Chain A
Amino acid sequence: MRTTRILTAALLAGAALFTTAGAAVADTPGPSPSASSGDTPTEAGTGFRTATAIEQGQKATASASTGDYLYWQFPAGANQRPTVKATVQLPEASLRHGAATWQLDVFDGLRRHQACASGEPTQRAGAQDASVTLTCTLRTVRPWSERWANDPLPGAYYIRLTVADGPDQDHGLPVKTEVRADAKDVGGSRAEGGEVAPLHAAALKEPEDGWNGSWWSDRWAWTVGGAVLGALAAIGGYTLTRHPHRFRRPPAGR
């Protein structure tokens, strides 16, 4: 009888731990999808030095000429997987001379080109298309990496949008562009240790969870849950050897 009580208590404690863990996950603010305070940027920079700072989840627009190189920068913290989406409203089809390829590049704070793990960073716009949409999802930002690696690290990320290939006669024609950078929290499976100072992030606002992500990850729940389970199993094993009769059927006649 006592064993059952102990067991229930332990199980309850374990359950409580897991549920509070869940609540904590829900409480931690996400990467702020709608933190667009103030005006949205309506200009783009023309180089790394002049890149316009945008926030995560903020829609930035800019009018430009075909052939311009447009630069923006956005912040990303550890354990986030940023996705950049750019839409280009092409010049009137009657003014254009053919198809053109548009390209979206993402660089980290050290101006190192970052690979797009998924998405479509280059698109060919047909001669009659009105707009073209480009996307790029980076690898997960890590809080630390070896100095030889070019893994994404917390800090600034530069977006460069331009026409990569197209008829020369079309250069200089007006286009309207729109970019937006979002980030998804990847969760405990990628929670890592270590810390580096954010890369070139002086002009940017720190993400909600800080540059190095929150200390919380579901690894805490798994590890503590595992410890509780181990303790319960130990108690169970001990009881099994010490009071084996309790686990047998009561003898007939009682």
Chain B
Amino acid sequence: MAPTTRFRAFTGLALAGTLAFSLVACSSGSDEPAASGDDGGELTTVGFVAVGPEGGWRTANEQNIQDAFSTENGFDLKYAPSSNGDQNSQITAFTSFIDEGVDAILLSATEATGWEDVLNRAQEAEIPVVLLDRGIEPNDESLYTSRIAPDNVGISASAAEWANEQFPDGANYVVLEGPPGLSVVNDRNKGWDEAVSDNLVKLESQSANWSTEEAKSVFETMLKANGNDIQLVFAQNDEMGLGAALAVEEAGLTPGTDVKIITIDGTQAALEALAAGRLSFVAEYNPLFGEDAIEVVNAALAGEDVESSIVVPSTTFDSPEAATAALPDRQY
């Protein structure tokens, strides 16, 4: 079993590598027009319809985008965070970017559905739209230029494979999801469900709204409902995983020994917890793809063809040692 996983992880990395290479190739091709833009001293105006403060991952991601699209790099980035994840506020920001006539729009949608109208309007105004992280549903690729995101399906599949490896004789597990309906949640469920082996029994799957506090409360009840007979938690983000760890400790059990917890995202807090043995597996969902976004925007403005889906390479951490090694360089 183990070799296959490693092999897949390797191919994943290799694929990501090729992709990165092709992007570089792409960007070298687009040097000309970008440079000519710089000559005129004109900044490229980019509107960023963002999610806003949500957690460590989001903060790192949006900071990275803002840092990348700097004046030095020839951009004027207009950052528009949503008001508490409200889709309406995002649509309003999006529409006003169209009305302002920005050169390109970056979109991290808080909700997957309901974007057709505004995306059509952007298309009519010939403004390229690049989706960052969050996708849209139905996923009509003609509506946007490209989507840059780590591969949620692949990441949670790698988490599932680690679980299969850990519990060859089977185990009971629960899933702590994000809010129902999000594309991330759907993708992370999909990757996990496809890859997890049959002798791992899913007892329950509940939303804890990405929140530590809710996850603690939800998992505390899950433990009671199942007489502590849960060996594995698949938490779809770090915060919920940390909440589950607190609930485990509260119940007098030891995380890592009695209950193994898997989280996705790979924030500093999660790696610290992994280093301390409170979490067992952290799959990184790489938030740092500002540079990739610049490439795509420039290519789109230059009228070149862009891949409709660009996968950001991510890694996994499966031991305290790996976490300890990665921590000093952790930016988020």
Q: Is chain B a partner of chain A in the same complex?
A: no
Residues on B lying within 8 angstroms of A by beta carbon are none
